[in-house]
Each structure stands twice: as C-alpha cells, then as structure tokens.
C-alpha cells in the first residue's frame, strides 16, 4: 500500500537512517555489529559511517575488546553534535529540560501554573523563558539546538501549526505552536504528553524492544499512547489513544467531558479522590492538592476498610480498562505511567488480576503489565526525543 517511489538516492537515505538509528538507540556499537544488525555489507557500513563521522554526527570512541585480530572501533553518537530541549506542559506546571544527544540532562527549570491561570499566552511565555534560561545557564548557543519538543496534557492536532485541546487547562483549539513560534525560530515539535511519555519509555524505559506496546498515563486525567509496529499511532487527526474517555460503565458516573461512565471518571486521580470522599459520606479528603490527597488515601488503606475498598475498586476499574486495551491492541506490553499510577503502584498485582478477569485469555497471556521505569519526568524526556526522531528518520540530514 506504500505508493512512495524509490530512487537510488533514497537507498542511501534509508541506510543512513537505519545505521544512525541503531547507533543512537543501541550504541555504542562497532561497524561489525552494524553489519550483523542491518545486513548491509562491510564496505557499505564503512562508507556511510565515514560520512556520518565527517559530518560530526558520529564519533569513534575507543577500541572494543579483542581476543586476537584487529580490534574494532566503538561508534557512538557525538553527544554534543547538537542539544535538544524537552518541555512538559502538565496540568500544574511547565517544565523545560535541556539534553545532549545522549539524553544527559544539561539543565532544567520549572514554572508552576496557577490552578486556573492557564492562559495559553502565559504558558507560551513560560516555554520561551525556559528555553532562554536553560541555554543561558549552560552556556550553550541557540544555534546548537536541534529542536524543541513540547508534550502537552491534551489533544494535539498535528498540522502546519499544531492545535491543542486541553480540557483540564480549559483550552479549546489553542494554536500553541504558533504562540511559541512567535518568540523563537527554533524547530518546534508538539505532541500529546501521553505520547511523548510513551516515546520515552519506548526508547529508554519499560518499552524497549517491544514492537507493540500501550502506555497508559494516569494523572488527574487519563490518557494512553499506543505504539504499533514500533511507531506511535496517531490516527486521522492525531487524537488516537483517548483511553480516558472510553465508556467502561455504561450510564455510570458523569465525566468532565460531558459523557457518562468514562474510565477517567473512575480511575483518574480526581475521580478516585471523589469516590473516596463519597465513601466517607462526604467528609473531605485531607491534603492540599490531589497528589497529597491521593497519598492520604493510599496511606489510610493500611487501616481503613473504606479506603481499601476504594482502592480495590480502582484496581478493578483500571484492570478492566487495561483489559480493553489488551483486547483491542494485543500489545506485548502494557506500561502504566503518570504520577497517579506511580502512587497507586501497590495496586499493580490487583490490576493484573482484574485485567485477567476481563481480557481474553490468549492476548492476556501474551502481554505483561508493568509500571513505567522513567518516573514522572518521562514526558519532558519524551518530548525531547521528537526532534531526535526526526533527525534519525532523515538519516541526520537536517531539514
């Protein structure tokens, strides 16, 4: 179904891309490793690698162990060939991080968001200020920045300028990319936060090695990223993966999206706290913000029957939601991430059991359900991979 023409030059591009990707994702590697890994001939690998070294994208880094014979040189991506910036526009804060090409953090800065002071222009301002800040702090020139990736907790519609719908921020069709672009000419990449988290876990965390994986992001709201055949699936207008608003309890609790019985209305942090409050006959849950309230609930479960019941039910609902993902996507792995999922980590065994009850046996047996390995900062890390993904796809030929 691929109706894209191939030409002789595209051969080189593909091979460059394949080799560079491998060096980046699995490196350091020797030329021989690349020969074995890609099936290309030795001269072809040397030829392409030579170009990459000449262009400063790749560097030799010492010789490999050898037991007789000429030792092969290790190849790695040149860490400072460029830097990338990852931004996490979350429900409560904007976080900007600067990475080199080995994804080492070179600097970061965070701006809290008022609970309702979430004007798009304010957020764009934070992003721009953050970029200036991390560059200034680390003394790196703008020209060295490959690009800026921005993960937003909302639906991001890709296009010439990405448009953002974010219920929790009260945003409707906000041209965030344009707002940021007006303040900088660095290449921008916007994406949904769940998708960037998925990308991060896919490259560096619990998703490594999987071709088909689902990343469930549980925070105040609920989202998911689906990786099919190694690629994040976006759908027709890049809103695929809106797991939080799938119906789980037909006719059930009202959801902030306007429908009823959405998964988010049961397992989102806000909903869990709400359900706990109801179970306490309306007595408020102690804690300043959702994070501490959820913590209070988890702590209370040690002693309180009520709290435990709420958590058990949460695991059941979450398990059923995960089962739906398993039935529909048949992934090799389901990875739970987001701060609420991390806080509820103790429920993992119960979630597994609940999912097993609701999923079909065969696909359930072929998947694992685990927690994310990258913690809460995965969104910014994943956002930073967006410009890199482009670099790898084009074989390192910028723009």
Partner DNA sequence: CGGCTTAATTAATGTCGTCATTAAAATGGT
Partner DNA sequence: ACCATTTTAATGACGACATTAATTAAGCCG
Q: Please, which of residues 64-123 interact with DNA by CB under 7 A?
A: 66-73
30, 118, 232, 367: which one contacts DNA (CB under 7 A)? Answer: 30
Q: Which of 325, 337, 223, 218 is nearest to 270 (CA)?
A: 218
DSSP states of 157-194 as a string? E-SSS-EEEETTTTEEEE-HHHHHHTT--S-EEEEEHH
Of residues 99 through 128, those in contact with its own copies by CB under 8 A are none
330 binds its own copies (CB under 8 A): yes
Q: Which stretch binds its own copies (CB under 8 A): 121-129, 243-251, 274-282, 334-342?
A: 243-251
Q: Convert residues 263-302 into a mask of x (bound to its own copies by CB under 8 A) and - (unbound).
A: ----------------------------------------
Q: Which does 51 bind (CB under 5 to 8 A by kind): its own copies, DNA, none?
A: none
Q: By CB under 8 A, name the one of 63, 353, 362, 397 that touches its own copies.
A: 362
18 binds DNA (CB under 7 A): no
Q: Which of 2, 3, 4, 8 binds DNA (CB under 7 A)?
A: 8
Binding mask 12-41 for its own copies (x = CB under 8 A): --xx-xx--xx--------------xxxx-
Strand order in the sheet with 83-89: 105-112, 93-100, 83-89, 145-152, 188-192
Size of residue set near DNA by CB under 7 A: 31
Distance between CA atoms of 357 and 363, rounded to whole angstroms?
12
User: In the window 124-153, what residues touch DNA (CB under 7 A)?
Assistant: none
Number of residues near its own copies (by CB under 8 A)? 73
Task: Output the six-digit token pair for 54.
Answer: 């000449």
Residue 104, CA distances (Å) to 88, 100, 255, 383, 385 in order: 17, 6, 40, 14, 12
Q: Could you tell me the smallest distance in angstroms from the CB atom of residue 24 to DNA?
A: 18
Q: Where does this chain touch DNA (CB under 7 A) — which range of 62-70, 120-128, 227-235, 380-388?
A: 62-70
Contacts for 258 with CB less than 8 Å, ≥ 6 apart: none
Structure tokens at 24: 């980046």
CA distances from 236 to 15, 157, 158, 331, 371 (A): 29, 9, 10, 21, 29
Least separation, in Å, of the C-beta of 138 and its own copies? 30
Q: Which residues bind DNA (CB under 7 A)?
A: 5-9, 11-12, 15, 30-32, 39-44, 46-50, 63, 66-73
């Amino acid at each position: 179904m691929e109706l894209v023409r191939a030409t002789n030059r595209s051969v080189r591009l593909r091979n460059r891309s394949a080799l560079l990707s491998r060096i980046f994702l699995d490196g350091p590697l020797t030329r021989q490793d690349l020969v074995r890994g890609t099936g290309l001939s030795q001269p072809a690998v040397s030829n392409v690698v030579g170009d990459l070294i000449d262009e400063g994208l790749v560097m030799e880094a010492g010789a490999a162990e050898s037991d007789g014979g000429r030792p092969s040189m290790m190849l790695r991506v040149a860490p400072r060939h460029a830097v990338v910036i990852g931004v996490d526009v979350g429900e409560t804060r904007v976080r900007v991080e600067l990475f080199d090409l080995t994804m080492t953090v070179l600097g970061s800065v965070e701006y809290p968001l008022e609970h309702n002071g979430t004007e798009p222009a304010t957020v764009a301002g934070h992003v721009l200020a953050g970029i200036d800040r991390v560059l200034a702090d680390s003394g790196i020139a703008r020209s060295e920045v490959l690009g800026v990736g921005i993960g937003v907790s909302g639906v991001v519609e890709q296009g010439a300028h990405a448009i953002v719908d974010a219920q929790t921020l009260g945003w409707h069709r906000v041209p965030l990319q344009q707002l940021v672009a007006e303040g900088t000419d660095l290449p921008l990449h916007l994406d949904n936060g769940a998708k960037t988290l998925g990308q991060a876990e896919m490259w560096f965390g619990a998703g490594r090695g999987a071709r088909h994986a689902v990343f469930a992001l549980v925070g105040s709201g609920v989202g998911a990223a689906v990786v099919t055949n190694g690629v994040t699936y976006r759908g027709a207008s890049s809103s695929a993966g809106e797991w939080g608003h799938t119906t789980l309890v037909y006719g059930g609790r009202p959801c902030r999206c306007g429908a009823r019985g959405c998964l988010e209305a049961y397992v989102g942090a806000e909903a869990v706290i709400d359900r706990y409050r109801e179970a306490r006959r309306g007595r408020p849950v102690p804690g300043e913000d959702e994070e501490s309230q959820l913590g209070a609930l988890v702590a209370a479960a040690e002693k309180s029957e009520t709290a435990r019941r709420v958590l058990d039910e949460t695991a059941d609902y979450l398990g059923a939601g995960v089962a739906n993902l398993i039935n529909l996507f048949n992934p090799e792995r389901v990875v739970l991430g987001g701060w609420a999922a991390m806080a509820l980590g103790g429920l993992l065994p119960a979630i597994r059991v609940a999912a097993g009850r609701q999923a079909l046996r065969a696909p359930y047996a072929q998947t694992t359900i685990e927690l994310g390995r990258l913690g809460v900062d995965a969104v910014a890390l994943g956002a930073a991979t967006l410009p890199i993904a482009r670099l790898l796809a084009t074989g390192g030929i910028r723009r």
